[in-house]
Structure 1
């Protein structure tokens, strides 16, 4: 190697088009001696300083007035540790030369990242605060295999792409660079000259912190420490545990009344968590909190997949929010969106000038419904990016589970596409085989690395085996939202009670497949937006009947097999549909006791009853935990069933979905004894008519419903009753 590179190479370096800056810059042994070359635009002098004694050992010649310096170190043959004393027009400073450091990614990491099996890619890619040779700085690494050149730019180098070009690891397509002196909180991006020669500025896909819209830079931030699991949190996710989820959009649960501005993570920890605990919910599910550019996407179009949104505070404050939930005995679930991403130019789209993260063919890579791009699940590095992200939230923030958004759009190639608008798989079918493999791999990885954490699928079709283990040809989810049950039962409840007898099977059909998967009964945000009206508005009749219908429906739902989920506002019967730009209507609970208080008290009591009565949850995923008593009384729109646990404890549930009280209504029971009325949705306490059975009733030796005994009940109008057999 000669002392001075050719003018062509110097020109390429200065213009930002040289793909291998380490071959030129830094210290090199050459035939002419030990040489140091530096790229310092706007500098007037550069000296080499021996780090041992802090003495200047050479002054470099300025080869090009655009900032290229080069010089031989006299009387030195072997490389040594050095720094650079740089003189600018108005000051002099000592800087560490990024180009004196060797390769950064180890061979094993490079191999695993290349084949897409690195469990924790976020520990190597992105920006990592690191100490090398006793120097604090940041190691940057980004995957962009088709770029001609990649530089780190930020407020530490004047956003000048000439100053810090990166080293390409050709075996993996990863660019890397250690920049001493960069510290936490500084802004950065990657400046790429893409495969077409076009200069692009891209945010870091693996950034742990990001600016909030409209700004788009990444922030240097420490990788959060690992959060240990504990036995209580793990057991709270079990199939036999009572799981009652409160789904929350953090930006609109409650806002400051003076300026309609969001609450911070700290304020949410102080207000939301005690409320959830008081209401008896066991889990909080957060709609996506990944950084996202568009408020109205509610977080479902994320671009900072590894960065908690700055809308409510810092990543450390978000982690403190999760910690506060855990201290209150509440598990935290996170909505996770691995199905698509927005096409903003500073994000993942055409990252290095090619369809790197997305499918190239728009029939595979463009989502028509949401105007977004679809991840290329067949690319190992993309699968690694997503699967690693799932584990990241669990290990680094203590998230107890993920609800995976829009699974049907992931696993079907023809999802929402007309004939000719989609590409069949290699067998000519409509399933996305590589996406299915990705979901299995992700769920299997979580099961192995974070036992006790759960994944929940929002899957709207009858795809078989969503909650079966991957080794049994399933997708490997723990639970699946029961979309069919939700649609059927809400369709039933919308009917005028006089017509419900013609739709009786909508309330019973779900029991034909209730144990084909491990289900969650979800009344989510999707049911109260986009002109759908609130849950209360879906109920027919005058105000009294609307509230009574809703209370009876909630009672039926909480007793039905399956875990529970309710979107915020439903617990106090918010009257208007949800608006992400404003707070819930908490004023409905002001000005004295009213119907809204009644619904709120009922939901709280349902949660605590569900948790305390083991018969209502222990065998949620087992048909042995359920049996019908009255399934065919469509004329009276009455339903009755028994929930039981493995020890024989039972709760009899009776629902009347007409405004007509049913007196002397006989229902068979297997065991004689006293039956206590432990919950009555028509209670005066819930602002009902207070009709019932004076707290309990004795069985009679009269056979009914294929049982040797029976009880004769008063079933109030538009009401659900829970009756528990007391010990002899």
Structure 2
């Protein structure tokens, strides 16, 4: 058969050689012609190419067209192979045999194409990215990437000498996705996408859906199988409920504890050390600063470039799954910090991905965060919303995350966030609300809530935006944002500002102390003492406290006692349980040596006992989000800076909490009590075992002497800078 039938036009040959051809599958591979079949393969660096049948028998030697690396040939009708391999002798030496990537047909199924195009695919990560699969009996990896405006996209890696001409992809124009199956490529291979953008510029991009990435400073994606999904866990659903005891230990994996040589602990080593430590302290959940892959250590993960890849700093995706498995097995929930608010502009990332502003807004007034020098997702684009929402589902389904703490929600909700007049674009109604971001958050929370009802989402939201933790309307066009919990930033700021004052002045700021109860049940709150309060020159929690050394520790014990008694779930940043003097240093281990000193060890013991008391008394957690779970007994004694209140369980059992915010011990202090009987001191932050002065109480019998509106009262010793909790025992 005439081999000239396989020749391509000069302009087509030139576009193949320049890797600018928009449809390489139309030319490369095997194609029927009158009387037979033509075969073409583009193999720069090849000296000779022979076509083999599936059993390895030679069928045809291909010839270079016009001395180019495009090898062509023709087979007569009836003898052309439906399946074939190529035997290549390379000009640099060596020979290889492999299946031709261009003999395989379209990969993404029609329904998935339609859902991807619509932006309604719940799990696009099952198709996009790199997936080791077997096609037509051949093992390899299926690659797919969304780049609708690109002129050409290639997969490049060591397997093709990073040559974008070798594996140009098929464009599925229906959904803007480029795809190809590469035989013989398996897990562990490094790869990127070489993209000829709409602007004519060639860019090397990491895979937005990569399940694994290289450790910085390297930026390639790594072929990684998708880990098996996990079934819905009813036990975790109960542990995450509004009426469950929740006490969260927030952790930065790179600095919780380090090896003797200063190196990072791996995910598996952290499973052996961190999990039992948190369980031993009585915490119910871990919250991890972002584990997404990120290029800059100093961002702590909050500027991710690999939203689907656990950071290689600590191991592989399997290693991270082993960590979350160990936490679940120990009854410890895992919450992941999640960053859909912005992304960095690193060249290998999402910025100008296909030569257009694909993931981000083109207008910097909408698409650039001045505070962080990062880019803002275009939430109005269905495919971008889908990319982010499916990522939330991915961490829950594939790694067993109990939930996601969504970072910087306030920056998403408002178009004028941290911007001056003229630096932002109003919404279509002329307002400042980011309607597209609001719609995205509702849809994301709806997706998580309907697909994984055991999981929770938590909003780091610092404004008075209404109904953050209330369900959206059925049509998702109104109502709340759909989060399960919101961080109570107002409580945190007010309380830390109050406690920073010298106790002699606190009586003038009593409203600052009790104001949080005016809105405590307007949202489902988490009370956070997070990493943000112990960095950037803010000092440690201990250093914020006034007074001498004893008073500093007493004030911090008071803070923790009041926090654990206050309505709302609890969150404490790592290390704060033993009160470091210095603020958090992300580049070193926590100062564990402090536990050799009694005041610090006492603080750790207090946190352990607060968690124990919390978990064993439903009055302290069961109605955290309901006003029925809290009642003031005394809130107006500003002169003595004293608060007394009752926490109540649904069955009526209660814990009475007395707080003294001055260093003056109050002997013979009478307070009302909600019921007659003997009231036993459950916990006192001034107990000597915590480093206190010992102004404690045992069991106190109530008297029928009305006080503070109560029919019964008790006389107690009110500890200096302390909190005492009481429970009725008969």
Q: TM bucket by the smaller chain? A: over 0.9
1:558 aligned to 2:561?
A: no
Matching residue of 1:606: 610
Q: String of CA shifts for 1:205-250, please: whole Å, max 9, x gaps.
A: 0000000110000000110111223222111100000000000000
2:160 is paired with a residue of what secondary structure?
A: coil
Matching residue of 2:722: 719
Counterpart pick for 2:308 among 306, 309, 314? 306
1:483 aligned to 2:489?
A: yes
Q: String of CA shifts for 1:476-518, please: whole Å, max 9, x gaps.
A: 0000000000000111100000000011111110000000000
1:555 is paired with a residue of what secondary structure?
A: helix
1:609 is paired with a residue of what secondary structure?
A: helix
2:132 is paired with a residue of what secondary structure?
A: strand
Q: String of CA shifts for 1:559-583, please: whole Å, max 9, x gaps.
A: 0000000001110011100010011
TM-superposed CA distance for 1:77, in Å, is: 6.7
Matching residue of 1:676: 680
Tell whether the 8 Å contact from 1:58 to 1:74 is kept in structure 2 after alignment.
Answer: no
TM-superposed CA distance for 1:120, in Å, is: 0.3
Matching residue of 1:509: 515
1:340 aligned to 2:342?
A: yes
Separation in 2 of the partners of 1:92 and 1:539? 72
Matches within 5 A, 1:254-293: 254-257=257-260, 259-293=261-295
Matching residue of 1:200: 203
Separation in 2 of the partners of 1:522 and 1:239? 16
Counterpart pick for 1:526 among 510, 527, 532? 532
Counterpart pick for 1:535 among 537, 541, 555? 541
TM-superposed CA distance for 1:159, in Å, is: 0.6
Q: String of CA shifts for 1:192-217, please: whole Å, max 9, x gaps.
A: 11112111100000000000110000
1:585 aligned to 2:591?
A: yes
Counterpart pick for 2:668 among 658, 664, 684? 664
Q: String of CA shifts for 1:324-369, please: whole Å, max 9, x gaps.
A: 1111110000000000000001110000111000000000000000
Matching residue of 2:656: 652
1:26 aligned to 2:24?
A: no
Tell whether the 8 Å contact from 1:34 to 1:76 is kept in structure 2 after alignment.
Answer: no
Counterpart pick for 1:150 among 124, 136, 153? 153
Matching residue of 1:108: 111
Deviates more, 1:660-669 or 1:673-682: 660-669
1:187 aligned to 2:190?
A: yes
Matching residue of 1:59: 61
Matching residue of 1:394: 396
Tell whether the 8 Å contact from 2:35 to 2:77 is kept in structure 1 after alignment.
Answer: no
TM-score normalised by structure 2 residue count: 0.98
Separation in 2 of the partners of 1:75 and 1:559? 84
TM-superposed CA distance for 1:2, in Å, is: 5.5
1:625 aligned to 2:629?
A: yes
Q: Which runs of 4+ in 1 moved over 3 A?
A: none
2:613 is paired with a residue of what secondary structure?
A: helix
Separation in 2 of the partners of 1:461 and 1:619? 24
Q: Closer, same or farther in 2 for the Cα pair 1:29/1:77, shift >3 Å?
A: farther
TM-superposed CA distance for 1:92, in Å, is: 2.6
Separation in 2 of the partners of 1:531 and 1:92? 61
Matches within 5 A, 1:3-22: 3-22=6-25
Tell whether the 8 Å contact from 1:2 to 1:32 is kept in structure 2 after alignment.
Answer: no
Separation in 2 of the partners of 1:221 and 1:424? 42
Separation in 2 of the partners of 1:83 and 1:647? 74
Separation in 2 of the partners of 1:242 and 1:12? 64
Separation in 2 of the partners of 1:103 and 1:597? 63
Separation in 1 of the partners of 2:552 and 2:253? 28
1:384 aligned to 2:389?
A: no
Tell whether the 8 Å contact from 1:456 to 1:479 is kept in structure 2 after alignment.
Answer: yes
Matching residue of 2:121: 118
Matching residue of 1:169: 172
Matching residue of 2:619: 615
1:47 aligned to 2:50?
A: yes
TM-score normalised by structure 1 residue count: 0.98
Tell whether the 8 Å contact from 1:127 to 1:207 is kept in structure 2 after alignment.
Answer: yes
Matching residue of 2:323: 321
Counterpart pick for 1:233 among 223, 233, 236? 236
Q: String of CA shifts for 1:615-639, please: whole Å, max 9, x gaps.
A: 1011111100110011000000000
2:6 is paired with a residue of what secondary structure?
A: coil
Tell whether the 8 Å contact from 1:529 to 1:578 is kept in structure 2 after alignment.
Answer: yes
Matching residue of 1:433: 435
Matching residue of 1:294: 296
TM-superposed CA distance for 1:411, in Å, is: 1.1
Separation in 1 of the partners of 2:68 and 2:339? 46
Tell whether the 8 Å contact from 1:42 to 1:66 is kept in structure 2 after alignment.
Answer: no
Separation in 2 of the partners of 1:31 and 1:74? 9
TM-superposed CA distance for 1:74, in Å, is: 2.5
1:352 is paired with a residue of what secondary structure?
A: coil
Q: String of CA shifts for 1:97-117, please: whole Å, max 9, x gaps.
A: 111111111111111111110
Separation in 2 of the partners of 1:20 and 1:77? 27
1:242 aligned to 2:245?
A: yes
Matching residue of 1:423: 425
Q: String of CA shifts for 1:151-194, please: whole Å, max 9, x gaps.
A: 00001111111100001111111100000000100100001111
Matching residue of 1:130: 133
Tell whether the 8 Å contact from 2:118 to 2:382 is kept in structure 1 after alignment.
Answer: yes
**Number of matched residues?**
722
Deviates more, 1:235-244 or 1:704-713: 704-713
Counterpart pick for 2:73 among 71, 74, 81? 71
Matching residue of 1:688: 692
Counterpart pick for 1:643 among 640, 647, 663? 647
Separation in 1 of the partners of 2:124 and 2:447? 13
Separation in 1 of the partners of 2:404 and 2:635? 35
Tell whether the 8 Å contact from 1:29 to 1:79 is kept in structure 2 after alignment.
Answer: no
Separation in 2 of the partners of 1:93 and 1:588? 61
1:492 aligned to 2:498?
A: yes
Tell whether the 8 Å contact from 1:519 to 1:563 is kept in structure 2 after alignment.
Answer: yes
Counterpart pick for 2:705 among 698, 702, 705? 702
Separation in 2 of the partners of 1:565 and 1:2? 72
Separation in 2 of the partners of 1:313 and 1:541? 44
TM-superposed CA distance for 1:94, in Å, is: 1.7
Q: Which runs of 5+ in 1 are unaligned?
A: none
TM-superposed CA distance for 1:79, in Å, is: 5.6
Q: String of CA shifts for 1:293-329, please: whole Å, max 9, x gaps.
A: 0000010000000000010111111110111111111
Separation in 2 of the partners of 1:281 and 1:606? 10
Tell whether the 8 Å contact from 1:184 to 1:219 is kept in structure 2 after alignment.
Answer: yes
Separation in 1 of the partners of 2:727 and 2:116? 57
Separation in 2 of the partners of 1:697 and 1:269? 44
2:313 is paired with a residue of what secondary structure?
A: coil
Tell whether the 8 Å contact from 1:3 to 1:33 is kept in structure 2 after alignment.
Answer: no
Separation in 2 of the partners of 1:360 and 1:76? 54
Deviates more, 1:97-106 or 1:24-33: 24-33
Separation in 2 of the partners of 1:146 and 1:160? 21
